Structures are given as C-alpha cells and as structure tokens.
Amino acid sequence: MRNRRTPELSSSEITPESVFLNRRRLLAAGLGAAGLSAAGSAVPSASPMVGSTPGLSPGEELTPEDIVTSYNNFYEFGMDKDDPARYAHELTTDPWSVEVAGECAKPGEYAFEDIVSGFVPEERIYRFRCVEAWSMVVPWQGVPLRRILERFEPSGNARYVEFTTLYRPSEMRGQRSLFSSIDWPYVEGLRMDEAYHPLSLMAVGVYGKPLPNQNGAPWRLVVPWKYGFKSIKSIVKIRFARRQPKTTWQLQAPQEYGFYANVNPDVSHPRWSQASERRLPSSLFEPNRIPTLPFNGYGAEVAQLYQGMDLRRDF
C-alpha cells in the first residue's frame, strides 16, 4: 500500500482548515483573485488583450469561453470535438489523488488538495495551437509547473518528467470504445528544463473558474509553445525519469508525432501543412486563417532550450 503524503510546507503556506475542507471553494477563491488583471479589473471574455503577456500581439482577442469549453480533443471521452463536453460530466473528479514516483526524494500518493494548497493561481493568457492546425487564445489560471515539481525534490538523476492521465473506462467512455486504437492510459513527458521553464503551467482553471471536466479537471498541463497534445489532461501520476519517456502519440504514430512537438510552421505534418492555422472562432465563410509562428510565438522565451538541435529531426 502507498502512503498518502503531504508535501512539507512552511507555516506561511498552510491553508486554514475551514478553507481546505472544500476544494471547490478553495479553487474558486483562488481563481477569483487570479481572474483579475494587473490593473485590478476583470478580463472580459472576448476583449482585445494589451500589456506584456508573453508572445501575444496587441489586438489579439480571447477565444470565447463557450468555444474553449465545447471544442476539445480529449479522446478518453470520444473522437469528435464535442464528445468531451457531451460526456465528461460522467467523470468523478473529487476525491482525486496523484502518484509521484521515480527520481525524487518524496515519492508517494498525494491528495490533489495537498499538492495545490498554499498556491494562489496565476492568470496566464496563452495561445493554444493544436496539431490539427486550429488554435485558440485561452485565459488559464494555474501554478507554474516548476513550483509543483519542486515540492517533490527531484534528484540530479531526473532528466525528464512523465505525466499520466486517469484510466477509468467506467467513466471515460472513449477508453472502452472498440474503435479506439490508443493504448491507454495517455502518457506525455517533458525534459526537466522544459518543465522548469517559466511558461510551463499546471492549470486548475480557465476563464476564472475551476477547470470543467472536458478541459482536463481537476488539473492539466499547459505548455504553450508546443502542439496541444503535449498539454496532458486529468493527471494522476508524475514520474521523474532518467530516460526519455515513451509517450502515447509518439508510440501510436512516430512518423507524425515526435517527443518535442514544438510548433514549427516549417515542418509539415505528413497529411497537412503546419504553415497556417485556423484561429477560432471561424467558419466556412470566415475561416480566420492566420500564419503559424515558430514556437507558437514564444520563440524569444524558449528557443534557447533547443540550441544546436535539428528541429526537423527532433520534431
């Protein structure tokens, strides 16, 4: 049996018991604070964005909330874009536990609340680019991934971090589908320097609200310079590893999906170009197609991570 453990916290980080007892209330309180702009006013759901948000241009607009929460890839609930919103209510997300394993000082099984307690979610407005060449601009709320991982004290042998999604076919109908060829559970990974980069986020909310199930409740990864399949949802395991993890899509179709999955308009998918994208909302008559930017527009922040690498080979 695994012991449920609590990361060691300083006294200033300890959440009062009256607040801790209700995770939804805790997150809502934190998200209420995070949903404010630096000027202290709420961010409208479809307004032009200004300021110093990394990678965004003045005048780019947030994708409307109803699109962000209804147009998803989450194959655990089905292959169609509207399947997650239709079926994800069947998933139970409370209680939620997370196994931590591998090259770290504090492995064990932790309650989700224990991992996120003490953090006030930050708002990060990021471009989100899918490998299928559609994109959004999303106001996430979450905790820098580095701050989460440091709680478990990874050792010097940890060169990668692997994440695993929940496997629960009784509530995730896509996992029991006869038409799915995916080897569940879903697995993704990052190099440690990628995971520790300031842009890497563990999101617990979107649009100032706790994450809906279809968006990866209760928490999911967001790595904005990579294609969306790297941003794994509904995480139940974190493993620190010496060797590069074997990730789901890399195993499923290695000629199409590499480990790094950095957004690159110069490297086409075998079945379509990546040179442009369809920014949502869009329609047949107003396709809203725009050029794709290297590293999804975050090159100034992350390009140094890949100096000396051939990004056509290490795609």
Domain spans in the chain, listed from the N-terminal domain onward: 13-306
CA angle 157, 260, 200 (to 5 degrees): 75
Cα of first residue to Cα of last residue in the chain, in angstroms, is: 40
Rounded Cα distance between 19 and 8, Å, is 19
Task: Identify the DSSP state of 262.
Answer: B
Predicted confidence (pLDDT) at residue 11 exceeds the cutoff of 70: no
| Banded pLDDT at 235 (limits 50, 70, 90) | very high
Q: What is the mean pLDDT of residues 67-86?
A: 97
Q: Would the CA dihedral through 205, 72, 198, 217 be positive or negative?
A: positive
| Banded pLDDT at 55 (limits 50, 70, 90) | low
Q: What is the mean pLDDT of residues 271-295?
A: 94
Tokens found for residue 65: 């909330």
- pLDDT tens-digit map of 112-133: 999 999 999 999 999 999 999 9
CB 45 within 8 A of CB 62: yes
Predicted confidence (pLDDT) at residue 46 exceeds the cutoff of 90: no
CB 249 within 8 A of CB 184: no
Task: Identify the DSSP state of 63.
Answer: P
| Banded pLDDT at 58 (limits 50, 70, 90) | confident
Top CATH class of 13-306 equals alpha beta
| Banded pLDDT at 2 (limits 50, 70, 90) | very low
Q: What is the mean pLDDT of residues 226-241?
A: 98
Predicted confidence (pLDDT) at residue 270 exceeds the cutoff of 70: yes
Q: What is the mean pLDDT of residues 13-29?
A: 46
- pLDDT tens-digit map of 191-229: 999 999 999 999 999 999 999 999 999 999 999 999 999
Predicted confidence (pLDDT) at residue 44 exceeds the cutoff of 90: no
Cis peptide before 291 (omega within 30 of 0): no
Tokens found for residue 172: 């995730």
pLDDT, residue 43, reads 34
Rounded percentage of the chain residues whose pLDDT exceeds 70: 83
Residue type, 72: N
Q: Which residue from 230, 217, 247, 228 is spatially nearest to 116, judged by alpha carbons?
A: 217
pLDDT, residue 53, reads 62
Rounded Cα distance between 87 and 107, Å, is 33
Tokens found for residue 302: 């992350």
| Banded pLDDT at 253 (limits 50, 70, 90) | very high
Predicted confidence (pLDDT) at residue 38 exceeds the cutoff of 70: no
To the question of pTM greater than 0.85 for the whole model, the response is yes
Q: What is the mean pLDDT of residues 25-51?
A: 40
Rounded Cα distance between 155 and 14, Å, is 25
Average pLDDT in the chain: 87
* CA 110 to centroid of chain Cα atoms: 20
Q: What is the mean pLDDT of residues 23-51?
A: 41
Q: What is the mean pLDDT of residues 142-162?
A: 98
CB 270 within 8 A of CB 256: yes
Rounded Cα distance between 134 and 81, Å, is 12
| More reliable by pLDDT, 82 or 23 | 82
pLDDT, residue 48, reads 34
| Banded pLDDT at 62 (limits 50, 70, 90) | very high
* CA 219 to centroid of chain Cα atoms: 8
With 0-12 / 13-18 / 19 or more C-beta atoms within 10 angstroms meaning exposed / middle / buried, residue 219 is: buried
